[in-house]
Amino acid sequence: MHYQGVTNYQHGTEAATGILITNLGTPDAPTKEALKPYLKEFLMDPRVVEPPPARWLWKLILNGIILNTRPAKSAEAYASVWDSEGPGAPLLNISNRQINAVAERVRPHFKGRVEFALGMRYGNPSIASGLKELQDKGCQRILVLPLYPQYAAATTASTFDAVSAELQTWRWLPEMRFVNKYHRHPGYIKALANSIREHQQQHGKPQLLVMSYHGVPQRYLDNGDPYHCECHVTSRLVAEELGLSKDEYKVTFQSLFGKEEWIKPYTDATMKSLPEKGIKDIQVICPGFSADCLETIEEIDEENREYFIEAGGEKFSYIKCLNDRPDHADALATLVLQHTQGWYERDQFDADTDSKERQTVAANAKAMGCPF
């Protein structure tokens, strides 16, 4: 193994802090050619499709069936949302705006240098490229913030896997921190409640507020994944913040994949059954998605809207994700500052960042036989 070292290092350079903001990722283009490698990377991740009894069988099914049919279907869905949030994939555009908004808020609190990078778990820019970008900028401390408010092995742990896989190739490891979840963070809950209140000032109050989260297989919950409970905690806290009673909101799970049972109730089945129960005016929010993407814009606002209306529903409105709302950026900036405690105020005391000490080290380095 040849470990990658920091060969462009220069003594005397200030050590910076890096913030790697990550999300799931998106294909490079809304075409079946671009969808194939993206879906392959996604569906070969053992955290996403946890090994069924035989892995060779999954490979066969994936390469032989799924990757020959799904790319074209998914590409069509992506094409319908492409450019809806600026030129390109919505998730990528919004992620870039989120990073700028968070950086603007975090920077003034840092005495030393702080750098930001984006890393997508699948597709580009990758987590490896984001980490390298921070390393190139001299970051000796890195905080990883996956924009998944609720922890799931399929998302959060998979991000950790990708980070550690990259770091296993590095010689000089940075000091690392990792945000595990923020499903009950007061800033996040308040931003969700604000966005619902603002929506209702414009559109009125519905009979029911549906909070739809991405699902996971029931098997993962049975095996001890906390995701399901954290979705319910977020929903309860948002309802408390809004003063909603239990029958004024409902938690559902969307985006099923494959044939096995996923956590329930399903969003699509709920949409099809609400009207016959007399509930014909609903609002839907997706609190588990920090940015609008295919699964919200196309699946909720298009597909599930249609299910609801076709079943006799009268009023359906979709409440956008928190995206780059100022209160969301405030919440994420607070989260970053909470998780970088001892880092942002520390340059006064740290030999690596104290400017006088750095000059002394740089002046002595050559004499001591250091190539840097």
Ligand X SMILES: C=CC1=C(C)c2cc3[nH]c(cc4nc(cc5[nH]c(cc1n2)c(C)c5CCC(=O)O)C(CCC(=O)O)=C4C)c(C)c3C=C
Structure tokens at 182: 């923020």
Site size toward Fe ion (CB under 5 A) is 2
Question: Which of ligand X, Fe ion, none does residue 42 bind to, with CB < 5 to 8 Å depending on kind?
Answer: ligand X
> Residue 290, by phi and psi: left (phi above 0), alpha (psi -120 to 50) or beta?
alpha
How far, rounded to the nearest angstrom, does the alpha carbon of residue 84 sit from its chain's CA centroid? Answer: 19
* Angle, CA 267 vertex, CA 325 and CA 327 arms, to 5°: 10
Cα separation, 179 vs 56, in Å, equals 34
Using the minimum distance from each CB to ligand X, give the nearer residue, 295 or 347.
Answer: 295
Using the minimum distance from each CB to ligand X, give the nearer residue, 26 or 140.
Answer: 26
Question: Which of ligand X, Fe ion, none does residue 228 bind to, with CB < 5 to 8 Å depending on kind?
Answer: Fe ion
Using the minimum distance from each CB to ligand X, give the nearer residue, 49 or 118.
Answer: 49
CA-closest candidate to residue 271, choices 297, 235, 310: 310
Site string for Fe ion, 217-256 (x = CB under 5 A): -----------xx---------------------------
Q: How many residues does the chain have?
A: 372
Q: How far is the CB of 26 from ligand X (least distance, A)?
A: 3
Q: Is the dihedral of CA 89, 92, 98, 100 positive or negative?
A: negative
Compute how many other C-beta atoms are within 10 angstroms of the C-beta atom of residue 334: 18
Cα separation, 25 vs 43, in Å, equals 13
The strand pairing partners of 279, in sequence order, are none
Question: Which of ligand X, Fe ion, none does residue 229 bind to, with CB < 5 to 8 Å depending on kind?
Answer: Fe ion
Using the minimum distance from each CB to Fe ion, give the nearer residue, 178 or 257.
Answer: 257
Cα separation, 90 vs 288, in Å, equals 16
Element (H, E) at 157: none
Using the minimum distance from each CB to ligand X, give the nearer residue, 41 or 345.
Answer: 41
Question: Which of Fe ion, ligand X, none does residue 293 bind to, with CB < 5 to 8 Å depending on kind?
Answer: ligand X
Question: Which of Fe ion, ligand X, none does residue 238 bind to, with CB < 5 to 8 Å depending on kind?
Answer: none
Q: How far is the CB of 90 from ligand X (least distance, A)?
A: 6
Nearest residue to Fe ion, by Cβ distance, number only: 229
- Interface positions with ligand X (CB under 6 A): 24, 26, 39, 42, 48-49, 70, 74, 89, 91, 148, 152, 154-155, 214, 216-217, 255, 257, 288-289, 293-295
Report residue 86: phi and psi, to 5°.
110, 170
Question: Which of Fe ion, ligand X, none does residue 153 bind to, with CB < 5 to 8 Å depending on kind?
Answer: none
* Residue 188 amino acid letter: Y
Known binder of ligand: residue 295? Answer: yes
Structure tokens at 349: 């005391």
Using the minimum distance from each CB to Fe ion, give the nearer residue, 224 or 369.
Answer: 224
Which amino acids are annotated as binding site for Fe(2+), given as ranges?
214, 295
Binding site residues, Fe ion, CB under 5 A = 228-229
